[in-house]
Amino acid sequence: MKTFSLGGVHPADNKISCDAAIENFPIPETAYISMSQHLGAPAEPIVAVGDKVKVGQLIANASGFISAPVHSSVSGTVKAIDTIKDLAGNPCKAVVITVEGDEWVDTIDRSDAIVKEIKLDSKEIIAKIQECGVVGLGGATFPTNVKLSPPPGKKAEFLIINAAECEPYLTSDYRVLVEMPEQVLIGASIMMKALNVTQGFIGIEENKPKAIEILNKYASAYPQIKVVVLKKKYPQGGEKQLIDAVVGRRVPSKGLPIDTGAVVQNVGTALAVYEAVQKNKPLFEGILTVTGQCSNVQKNYKHRVGTPISKIIEVTGGIPENAAKVISGGPMMGKAMANLDAPTLKGSSSVLYLTEDQTKRKEESNCIRCGKCVSACPMGLEPYLLNKLSKVARWDDAEAHFIYDCIECGCCQFTCPAYIPLLDSIRFGKAKVMGIMRSRPKK
Amino acid sequence: MSTTIIFTVVSLSLLGLLLAVVLYFVAQKFKVEEDPRIDIVEALMPGANCGGCGQAGCRAFAEACTKAENLDSLYCPVGGNPVMQKIAGALGFEVAEKAPMVAVVRCAGSCDKRPKTNVYDGAASCAIMSALYPGDTGCKYGCLGKGDCINACNFGAISMDPATGLPVVDDEKCTACGACVKACPKGVIELRNKGPKSRRVFVSCINKDKGGVARKACTAACIGCGKCAKVCPFGAITVENNVAYIDFNKCKLCTKCVAECPTGAIHAVNFPPRPPKPAAAPAAPAAAPAEPAPVAVPVAEKKEA
């Protein structure tokens, strides 16, 4: 069985919510639809206070090449266009909509019938994906249409669907694969057509036997798409790691996946692409896992974008008594929520409760030069050194040691026996160095 | 045996002599003319090499002094006026006395005034914390309390007050080198006029949020109401971006604004304690009851509403 060649760690699986079928989360009374739901420039609202909007109606335009339009996830009246606080507490612009009923835009095909035939051509597909505001749902929320348009001089050779879901606890992609395998496969075919490639892979980890079985069953009808079962290892879902695992090619330092001829898209993105292209449905819903060992419930919800997290917590019976942190995303790369009133975004993947035992940082001691962080780093970096260089602000040296290649997966910190907060300082150093690199005049 | 020794000594001596001659001419040829005054000036410097003057170190400052036409734009904050006088004397310049400066922490958001909204347990560094998120309180402008300024200070002038969770500057030790100003990712620390007898008045808040938002996050916040600007007889106060700023060059330390501020965001430090009741005095009561005002701790912990 294949996996990526460098580093990696084995955190406990904890896919507790894997058997919970996807349920529709009730529509909130008020939806707060953020304008910064994607990587890049925030969208520009085009509605005014008092406007009536329907589900799926465009409410904000993309404001640049790397940007994405935003659609209303509810029907009702625009109450305000205001600054709200996001999960971290940073201010962001949002359209606040008071919900009245659930009236959808007529153009959206709401039937359950699976549309297999792809009518649009490559350019039309990419335009449609852009129009529907589809962004990468693997975490980075990079606009999908940009990823499907390789820069001049670069040629895509194959598409990889990322079904690794290597983060512990998260099960949203898994549920999508189990419940909607055909849609994902059609979504993949659409993207392959858009990219003009004839080869597709679905990279999935061995710890999801049920999904593998279902995928294999349906994939037989799609001879161009091959299901590749991978050995379980974190961070297999990292773009660069997945390419290495599936086709054995390494993305060069400072390079992009397209340099290896690969385009990687998440399972959720494939579903969103299917819905956008075949059903004309913009991206305004997402699958979100509510889980945790201390959690009262284990659920997978289809939520409307803009539902306040506090509402999800309330409906699922409140924050469990012994929960110490509420995390958005998985325990490895997810972020603790500083503001529970923040709304869900297109890329929201979970509400994860962790106990104090699980989150408490142990007391830091001295580096014993064991080298565990070096062998765990999937990018082949030297975390102990980057940590030191960041601490003393030696940015030139940090750059010479490839700090910009860090993918912030947290393997080094996870494996450190001295509990040194390696990732904290490396992430800080990386941001500094990237800033310095960007400020240099381009050659 | 003896011939070997004699031969060795003689040949080595000759070689030494020859090389000495070569070295002498090389030294003449490649001689670097350096202003001898640089050494003199450097000897007068404090030697902290803190970079507070804006130069790379004390020698670089000394070099800049010897090259400069006058010393107006050069100032060693650590040595202060005495050192500048000496340097001016050595170089034959005249130098005007500069008012001594001091680092001022412009945040009064102690734990009771600015309640925590979440718990931060990451690496103990303000820089890392501020790169991650706005902070563990409702105010995204204020002090994070992780002590980057303390680590940056070469003179041991800053310490953390465990009661308030805010850094405290020791007026005596602070040299106004500005290292803490650079270290603070939030820009909370400002170099201000030390003032006569270390008395000074400043707005201890940099929150740019609208009044209501700022007040909700912190009861000691400046809400940008502008009352202080109206009451100031010297036009020293400006309100911009919902926060007041006192220009220390214009401020005459009348402390009228201190009494006017509804949130107590304006601090007057090192003023002698006044009787609690206003006795029709022109200099308004700073309303600092019995507190004997330890150095740099705000006296004006006044009215809570």
Residue B287 binned pLDDT confidence (cut-offs 50, 70, 90): very low
A15-53: pLDDT as tens digits:
999 999 999 999 999 999 999 999 989 999 999 999 999
Interchain pair B125, A90: CB under 8 A: no
Query: By the CB < 8 Å criterion, does A198 face chain B?
Result: no
- Number of separate domains in chain B: 2
Residue of A nearest to B148 (CA): A391
Cβ neighbours of A90 in B, within 8 Å: 133-134, 140
CA distance A335 to A351: 10
Q: Are residues B147 and B62 in the same domain?
A: no
Give the H/E segment covering residue A344: none
Question: Are B160 and B184 part of one and the same domain?
Answer: yes
- pLDDT given at position A162: 95
Q: Please give the Cα distance from A110 to A390 (Å, whole number).
A: 52
Cβ(A309)–Cβ(A34) under 8 Å? no
pLDDT at A89: 87
Q: Is the pLDDT of residue B294 over 80?
A: no
State whether residue B292 is helix, strand or coil. coil
Interchain CB contacts (distance < 8 Å): A and B: 42
Residues B82 and B144 in one domain: no
- Per-residue CA distances from A7 to A380, B56, B70, B133 (Å): 7, 42, 61, 29
Residue of chain A minimizing CA distance to B133: A88
- Closest approach of chain A CAs to the CA of B118, in angstroms? 6
Contact B131 A339 (CB under 8 A): no
Sequence-separated (6 or more) residues with CB below 8 Å from residue A299? A17, A20, A23, A289, A290, A291, A316
Over residues B68-77, mean pLDDT: 84
Cis peptide before A223 (omega within 30 of 0): no
Contact A337, A309 (CB under 8 A): yes
Verify that B134 and B75 share a domain, yes or no: no
Q: Look at the domain A122-279 and name its fold.
A: Rossmann fold (3.40.50)
CB A323 within 8 A of CB A313: no
Q: What is the DSSP string of A184-206?
A: HHHHHHHHHHHHT-S-EEEEEET
List, in sequence order, every residue forming a beta bridge with A325; answer none if it has no partner: A354
Contact between A219 and A226 under an 8 Å Cβ cutoff? The reply is: yes
Which residues from chain A sit within 8 angstroms of residue B134, using beta carbons?
88-90, 338
Is residue B64 located within the same domain as residue B200? Answer: no
With an 8 Å Cβ cutoff, is A362 touching chain B? no
Describe the strand order of the beta sheet including A76-85 as a list of residue ranges. A30-34, A91-99, A76-85, A52-53
- Closest approach of A225 to chain B, Cα-based (Å): 40
CATH, residue B71: 1.10.15
CB contact under 8 A, A89 and B123: no
Sheet containing A323-328: order of strands:
A22-24, A299-304, A285-291, A350-355, A323-328, A335-336
End-to-end CA distance of chain B: 102
The residue out of B24, B56, B91 marking a domain boundary is: B91
Cα–Cα distance between B193 and B102 in angstroms, integer? Answer: 6
**Which CA distances in Å does A259 have to A150, A151, A374?**
10, 10, 25
Residues of chain B positioned with their CB less than 8 A from the CB of A360: 121
Q: Which residues pair with A229 in a beta bridge?
A: A204
Interface test with B, best of A309, A425, A426, A430 (most B CBs within 10 A): A425
- Residue from B254, B87, B243, B107 nearest B169 by CA: B107
- Neighboring chain B residues of A338 at a CB cutoff of 8 Å: 117-118, 133-134, 136
Same domain flag for B43 and B184: no
State the alpha helices, DSSP H only, in A38-171.
122-131, 144-147
Range of the domain at B186: 101-269
Q: The tokens of B182 are what?
A: 């650079």
B53: in domain = yes
Q: What are phi and psi of A174, to 5 degrees?
A: -60, -45
Q: Do residue B133 and residue A431 have CB atoms under 8 angstroms apart?
A: no
| Same domain, yes or no: B165 and B259 | yes
H or E, element range at B9: helix B2-29
Task: Locate A38 and state its tokens.
Answer: 């994607």
Residue A237 · residue A202 · CB < 8 Å: no
Q: What share of chain B is helix, strand, coil (3-state, %, to 5)?
A: 30, 10, 55
Fill in the DSSP letter of residue B142. Answer: S
Give the pLDDT confidence of B8-28 residue by residue, as tens digits.
999 999 999 999 999 999 999
Cross-strand bridge partners of residue A262: A158
B194 in any annotated domain = yes
- pLDDT 10s digit of each residue in chain A, 443 long? 899 999 999 999 999 999 999 999 999 999 999 999 999 899 999 999 999 999 999 999 998 889 999 999 999 999 999 999 999 888 899 999 999 999 999 999 998 889 998 899 999 999 999 999 999 998 889 999 999 999 888 899 999 999 999 999 999 999 999 999 999 999 999 999 999 999 999 999 999 999 999 999 999 999 999 999 999 999 999 999 999 999 999 999 989 999 999 999 999 999 999 999 999 999 999 999 999 999 989 999 999 999 999 999 999 999 999 999 999 999 999 999 999 999 999 999 999 999 999 888 889 999 999 999 999 999 999 999 999 999 998 999 999 999 999 999 999 999 999 999 999 999 999 999 999 999 988 76
Nearest CA in chain B to A84: B213
Residue B139: DSSP 8-state: -
DSSP H helices in A262-363: 267-279, 309-315, 356-359
Residue B49 lies in a domain: yes
Chain B partners within 8 Å of A431 (Cβ): 131
Q: What is the pLDDT of residues B256-273, one digit of tens each?
A: 999 999 999 999 988 887
Task: Note whether B75 and B172 are same-domain residues.
Answer: no
What is the distance between the alpha carbons of residues B291 and B268, in angstroms, rounded to a whole number? 13
**Which residues of chain A neighbour B122 with C-beta distances below 8 Å?**
361, 421, 424
Judged by CB atoms closer than 8 Å, whether chains meet at A360 and B132 is answered as no
- Model pLDDT, residue A296: 87
Q: What are phi and psi of A253, to 5 degrees?
A: -55, 140
> The whole model's pTM is what?
0.83
Q: Which residue of A has its CA nearest to B152?
A: A392
B251 pLDDT more than 80: yes
Residue B122 has pLDDT above 90, yes or no: no
Q: Which chain B residue shows the shortest CA-CA distance from A361?
A: B121
**B105 and B239 assigned to the same domain:** yes
Contact B122 A424 (CB under 8 A): yes
Residue B277 pLDDT grade (very low, low, confident, very high; cuts 50, 70, 90): low
Which pLDDT belongs to residue B292? 41
Quick: pLDDT tens for B32-68. Answer: 888 888 988 999 988 888 888 888 889 999 988 888 8
- The reply to whether B261 and B169 lie within a common domain is yes
Nearest by Cα to A94 from A104, A84, A102: A84
Cβ atoms < 10 Å from Cβ of A434: 13
B1, two tokens: 């045996």
Kindly state whether residues B259 and B167 are assigned to the same domain.
yes
Q: Do B134 and A336 touch (CB under 8 A)?
A: no
**88-127 in A: which are within 8 Å (CB) of B?**
88-91
- One DSSP character per residue, B62-83 reads HHHHHH-S-STT---TTTHHHH
Report the CATH number that the domain containing residue B235 is assigned in CATH: 3.30.70.20
Q: Report the mean per-residue pLDDT for chain A.
A: 93
Is the Cβ pair A339, B127 closer than 8 Å? no
Residue extent(s) of CATH 3.40.50.11540 domains in chain A: 122-279
Put simply, the answer to whether A339 touches B122 (Cβ < 8 Å) is no
Residue A405 DSSP code = G
Q: Which of the four pLDDT bands, split at 50, 70 and 90, describes residue B148? A: very high
B282 is a domain residue? no
Q: Looking at this predicted complex, what is its ipTM? A: 0.85
**DSSP strand pairing (A200-205 vs A158-163):** parallel
Which residues of chain B does A336 touch, with a Cβ-Cβ cutoff of 8 Å? 118
Q: State yes or no: pLDDT of B238 exceeds 60.
A: yes
* Together in a domain, B80 and B120: no
Paired sense of beta strands A91-99 and B200-203, if any = unpaired
Out of B122, B123, B133, whose CB is closest to A90?
A: B133
SS3 B91: helix
Q: Which chain B residues contact residue A339 at CB under 8 A?
A: 117-118
Residue B29 CA to residue A222 CA, distance in Å, equals 82
The one-character DSSP state at A38 is: S
Last residue of a domain, one of B91, B119, B135: B91
Q: What is the C-alpha to C-alpha distance for residues A273 and A160, in angstroms, rounded to an integer? A: 14
